[in-house]
Chain A
Amino acid sequence: MGFLKKFFIYFLLLITACSTSLIKVNVKLPQTTHPIFGASGNRNFYYSISLSDSLKFLWQASTYGGFNNSSVVVYDSLLFVGELSGRVYCFNINTGKQLGVIKTKGAIFSTPLVTNFRLYFPLVKSESRKTEVIAYDFYAGKEVFIVEIEDRITNQILFDSDAIYLTAADGTIYKYNLEMKLIWTAETNQNISCVPALFGEFIFIGNEVGEVLKIDKSFGRIIKRQKISSRFVSGISVDDEKLFIGDDDGNLFSINSENLNVNFKIQTGSRILMNPVIDLENVFIGNLKGDLFSINKHNGKINWSKNYKGLFNSTPIVSQNKIIIPDAFKAYWILDKKDGSVIKKLELDGRAKLSPVLIDKKLFIGYDDGILEAYEFN
């Protein structure tokens, strides 16, 4: 069975490797969309849906390169995913059939942005320090804009109806309109690996010297910067005027979005790389030690914590009743969010990489060697 599976994968790789570089699909205006990493600018990774305990495998597909800790994006029935060998794939979300692939030279770390029949993705060039940001019209099947940026963009894109925000590794933030016209740049003067979030009129982001910055999204002015920790590389998530962010020392901070003062701090015991995940009452955070915490988002009280003997570096999602968390030690855990008990463990052949995405009870995950899988909750 294992042999047949491998044969199938290699066969698919061969087929995809030989395919042309084109995504051209006839698609209507979408009824469902999941345009960016975390679905929306506040990046709470919350799905207001109740999931059953029963899960059905739908399909498996593969890409040529491997995945970063990003996610797929969805536009109606189209699923897009970027990968580290510089390709963006388009699959049908119901069948897993590959509908097209854009081949480039470099690596795509970020989750693409999909909006208005266009894909936007930063392509990090090898043997160079530059990034090309490509806008691709998948209805017409062609690149419409390419912008070159003098640094690496491996961070996640922020999107705000008529503008996209890109964060370079050197801490420069760029705002472009959807025609890739530069609106402003903001120099933060510190390296940034933190995934930014958007709330109201402001962008919030942490940097590698432990500051949290509040930036006016209209003009790119840094409104406030507050030293909070030693180093932030996790993502920032926003909920009801509260920012949540984890640091390299294992602390989860709740921060007032107005004045950037710390509301509370919880020590989890190990480095945090993922985005905190927030539902109506709680915030969930995992660390590299394989611990997952459920914390009351209002008062910082720990509801429960559990160790799963793995490594949590990719952001989970939370629904009304479950948490689905990727574990680099070859699994996706489906947990009861009340107490963290294991409802199901999806065992994989490699490290879980993609943050899961839920569309109409369909679950999309991705792991080592560019394997993409779809499941459906009954």
Chain B
Amino acid sequence: MNYKFRIIKLFFIIIFFLYNTISYSQYYFFGRNKVQYEDFDWKIIRTNHFNIYYYGNVEKIAEIGAAYAEEVYEELKIKLNHVVTRKIPLIFYNTSLHFQQTNITPGLIPEGVGGFFEFLKGRVVLPSNGSLSEFRHVIRHELVHVFMTNKIFRVLRDHRLPTDAMPPLWFVEGLAEYLSTEVDAQAEMVMRDAVINNYFSGMKDFPKIYGTYLMYKAGQSFLEFVEKRYGADKIPQILDNFWMFKKFDDILEYTLGESVDKIDSEWNYELKKKYFPLLAHKKPQEVASEKLTESGFNFSPVYYQKSDSSFIYFNGNRDGYSSIYRLTLYNNKELPKVDLVLRGEKTDQFESFHLFQSSIDINKNGLLTFVTKSGATDVIHFFDIKTKLIQKTFQNDNLISISSPKFSKNGDRIVFQAIDTKGYSDLYIYQIDNDSLIRLTNDYYDDRDPCFGFADENCVIFSSDRTAGKYKGKYNIFFLEIDTRDIRYLTYANANFYNPVLSPSESFLVFTSDLDTVRNIWKQNIINKKFSKTIHQISKFYTSAFDPRFINDSTLVFTGFQNFSFHIYKKQIPPDSLLDVSVIMETNSAKGKWTADLITQTGEFEKLEYEREYALDYAQSVVATDPVYGTRGGGILTISDLLGNDQYYILLYNTAEVQSDFLKSFNISLTRINLGKRVNYGYGIFHFNGRRYDIRESDTYFYEKSHGGVFLLSYPLSKFHRIEASTSIADTEREIVEGISERKAFILSNSISVVHDNSLWVTSGPVDGTRWLMLLGYTTDIRYSNVNYYSVILDYRQYVRLDLRTAIAFRAAIFYNDGKDARRYFMGGSWDLRGWNRWSIRGEKMWLSSLEFRFPLVDELLIKFPIINLGFNGIRAATFFDVGSAWDKQYKTTYGSIGFGFRFNLWNVLILRYDIGKKIEKHFTRLQPGWFYQFFFGWDF
């Protein structure tokens, strides 16, 4: 969102908020909650170039991260010929779950975000997530952002140019990837898929993939191409030349010495030359195996057979919510039927299914085990597919993040991976009947994807980055004796091996490996419980396969990535005689494990307790005119601590309309909001003075002086529910005729509300889920008894999807104020009762109901003009029916409207709404003659 726009919006929100806390507003906010489950005890490691913030048991990981950061700093300073001279704040969390609680960015952080660099104060925030190699990668990635932005700032400042220019996002993220990681299996997978399937063919397609993982990797691929064709030195030169031209393409053209069209053509040709020959000896998954799903994103299949019926259970996101599904296999060629088993992301119990991170499993008795986030940590559920009930749920406060539970052969225990409070990713066994938990490993290596070994032996097979020697840090497959905790290598190669699973007959092991660049399926034979040193390639896909599971010894199901989506596939395992690619493992030379370097305690090294470090977030002055509040000028100042937990808002503005009113028209407020703990609270004082226009009272201006204080409380019960309370006290004096006091009041207002929101949004508003609010309030004048009324607001909104982007939306709301000098509610206009004049229907009591049919109209509209092209994305439409009324003492009439409208999403900032319809008039008895046409902005309800 445009920064300036945000400031202006904030300015008005604060004014609006402060005015309305003293007299209950009919506007309120839904939205999901960022719950502060943890009370973090922050500490600091100070190094030569960084301040590292960590908490609790994360010290070791923080010391390793500090060493990585210093190493990366030294590397980037040389590569970019640049130094960042301030200490860079690095904030470490032990898991994604804790990372999602950060207040450094105000919004909700989606799963899959590996870290972020916050531009305002230059903070880098990231979780360790159990894998030190990934931790190192993310530190490098974010530090490239720090160096790049700092270097560009310095270049522009040295040339005395505005310092707010930045390269396009594909370059920003591509550079961060290019300087932080090699082209790995995942990068190769998405690039192969995009080029071969022809949905990415060079620079002109960057807008099409804006913000996606593919954009990161395509940007990286572009810079790899630049290095190869023009030289690695050209890449930092692009930053050095940033001052030269306003257009980034001109900078590229100058630096690389060729036109952008030529550069693009060459890159496109390179991509095709690299990837098209793969088709000669590699196959798409849908050709070399049977595709079982057709839509959505589908992961982690497990096979279950019940008498004559065969099923595959899997988790996926097929409609916007991650859930568990069942696929019924038929013997004929008919496409399998998919049923929803458990709906996720709508309730506190199944807050998130961690798609792609965690697999599921099922035992022979039909007990399905899977992981969801539930409250502060992940939990493991045991779900009986016959009764369709959760039989048991395992949770442990010390285990924050859990992945991939797998049953033992007899189904009485599971082995799983979990990340503890130290940030260590280790293996655990949970005995279901007696609730006992055994920890198998306890170190900073990323032990993952465990499965039980031979049925008659106490052993576990797993993947880990504990590989030592010449392939240090690679993920190999290991064998662990549970009794002795002895660990030995099953594979040893310069590649990564994941998802081991033993065949039902225990005669071979299957896993995925990027030995041939992307992840394919391989097997390792077992004779007399001895693992062969030779592994054989089962699949030869040009994109990756994940999570292979057995249907039987000759058939696998797995997840495959193809054509920008994940689907479930079934594949026959060819006999060994037909497997022509084999690799011999060098396990004889494989010994021990590597050790991570900790930060050296030299130079400026010190460890400190965190004390709040406040700094200015922004200061902005605004002069604005609006029809309700008139012309006003002022400024807003916000200050917060480094972790974003404690925030101060200082607002100063003046509403004088003539010079003589200047001194008496100063308005000031100071508000503190604390988000550091689960209970969010805020308090503030205000002094407002000036001419006001209150739409709820009359159509006349009046002069009002008010001062007082406000206290706010918000307690999130979960991601979807919260309780809010507020109290305010205000001494007000109002004049309608100058010099004559109209009303004095010392108003005490209290409210409490419960808010729920699990809705799913598309470009113009919600299309699935529910949102509701119940509010009770009481307002009284404790000195003059001029005001005394209570308030009730009930608002319920339900969205029912008919298909992915089409929905029926329903809203019913009651607003009720009763008592002395009660405030009026109002409606009318594009946000509620369409067709009627905006906010023209007013009363102390009000009800409203709306029904909408929302559907997509045009996905992409491109209008070509001679000079520029104008494009709109996501144009939607709706038909609507609204009904409602407002009254003071006596119910008067019922209003209504019916019609249709269009919604344009402008850069995800603003929705433009254009409605056409007919009002229902005369006590709801007839349609208006002619049509109304109404244009406004705002999201759908």
Contacts and interface: CB of A to CB of B under 8 A. Distances in A.
Interface of A: 64-68, 83-85, 107, 126-127, 129, 208, 231, 233, 248, 270-271, 273, 288-289, 309-311, 313, 328-330, 350-351, 368-369
B83 A66 contact: no
A309 B157 contact: no
A65 B160 CA distance: 6
Interface stretch (B238-246, B389-397, B610-618): B238-246
A85 B154 contact: no
A370 to B, nearest CB: 8
Q: Is chain A's binding surface mostly helix, strand, loop or mixed?
A: loop
Interface string B22-48: 000000000000000000000000001
B241 to A, nearest CB: 9
A329 B244 CA distance: 26
B83 A208 contact: no
Interface in B54-102: 74, 77-78, 81-83, 85
A369 B157 contact: yes
Contacts of A126: 159, 243-245
A235 to B, nearest CB: 15
A350 B158 contact: no
A127 B83 contact: no
A368 B243 contact: no
B832 to A, nearest CB: 51
A289 B81 contact: no
A171 B244 CA distance: 20
B162 interface: no
Contacts of A65: 158-160
A318 B135 CA distance: 44
Which are the 6 A-B pairs with shortest beta-carbon distances? Answer: A66-B158, A85-B160, A288-B78, A84-B158, A328-B83, A84-B159
B613 to A, nearest CB: 17
A330 B86 CA distance: 10
A2 to B, nearest CB: 15
Contact of A313 (B81, B245, B603): B81
A273 B85 contact: no
Contact of B245 (A66, A127, A351, A369): A127
B789 interface: no
A103 to B, nearest CB: 11
A289 B85 CA distance: 15
B157 A310 contact: no
Given A127-B246, A351-B85, A271 B78 contact: yes
Given A66-B158, A85-B160, A107-B159, A311 B85 contact: no
B233 interface: yes
Contact of A66 (B74, B78, B85, B157): B157
Contacts of A351: 83, 85, 154
Contacts of A369: 157
Contacts of B158: 65-68, 83-85, 368
A222 to B, nearest CB: 22
B239 to A, nearest CB: 14
A329 B49 CA distance: 10
B703 interface: no
A329 B78 CA distance: 12
Nearest to B77: A311
A309 B603 CA distance: 10
B254 interface: yes
Contacts of B74: 289
Contacts of A288: 77-78, 81
B801 to A, nearest CB: 51
Contacts of A64: 160
A369 B245 CA distance: 21
Contact of A129 (B81, B157, B254): B254
30 contacts: A65-B158, A65-B159, A65-B160, A66-B154, A66-B158, A66-B159, A67-B158, A68-B158, A83-B158, A84-B158, A84-B159, A107-B159, A107-B243, A126-B159, A127-B246, A208-B233, A233-B233, A271-B78, A271-B81, A273-B81, A289-B78, A309-B48, A309-B603, A310-B83, A311-B77, A311-B82, A328-B82, A329-B83, A368-B154, A369-B157
Interface string B214-252: 000000000000000001010000000001111000100
A288 B78 CA distance: 5
Contacts of B154: 66, 351, 368
Nearest to A68: B158
A273 B79 CA distance: 12
A211 B154 CA distance: 32
Contacts of B83: 310-311, 328-329, 351
What class of interface size applies to chain B in its complex with A?
A: 20 to 34
Given A85-B159, A289-B74, A330 B85 contact: yes
A134 to B, nearest CB: 18
Contacts of A85: 158-160
A142 B48 CA distance: 49
Contacts of B78: 270-271, 288-289, 311
A270 B78 CA distance: 8
Nearest to A69: B81
Nearest to A209: B231
A125 B529 CA distance: 74
Given A85-B159, A231-B233, A273-B81, 8 more contacts: A67-B158, A85-B160, A126-B244, A127-B246, A271-B81, A289-B74, A311-B83, A369-B157
A311 B147 CA distance: 14
Interface string B150-167: 000010011110000000
A329 B250 CA distance: 31
A67 B158 CA distance: 7
A371 B402 CA distance: 55
A331 B77 CA distance: 16
B436 to A, nearest CB: 52
B244 A127 contact: yes
Contacts of A310: 83
Contacts of A107: 159, 243
B601 to A, nearest CB: 15
Contacts of B254: 129
A65 B158 CA distance: 5
A372 B250 CA distance: 33
A231 B233 CA distance: 10
A311 B244 CA distance: 25
Nearest to B159: A84
A328 B80 CA distance: 13
Interface string B291-315: 0000000000000000000000000
A215 B48 CA distance: 46
Interface string B600-614: 000100000000000
Interface in B126-155: 154
Contacts of A84: 158-160, 243
A208 B78 CA distance: 18
A85 to B, nearest CB: 4
A350 B86 CA distance: 10
Contacts of A208: 231, 233
Nearest to A233: B233
Contacts of B157: 66, 369
A328 B49 CA distance: 14
Interface string B512-523: 000000000000
Nearest to A128: B244
Nearest to A231: B233
Contacts of A127: 244-246, 250
A297 to B, nearest CB: 26
Contacts of A67: 158
Nearest to A87: B160
B85 A248 contact: no
Nearest to A288: B78
A42 B397 CA distance: 71
Contacts of A309: 48, 603
Contacts of B159: 65-66, 84-85, 107, 126
A333 B580 CA distance: 64
Interface string B246-266: 100010001000000000000
A311 B233 CA distance: 18
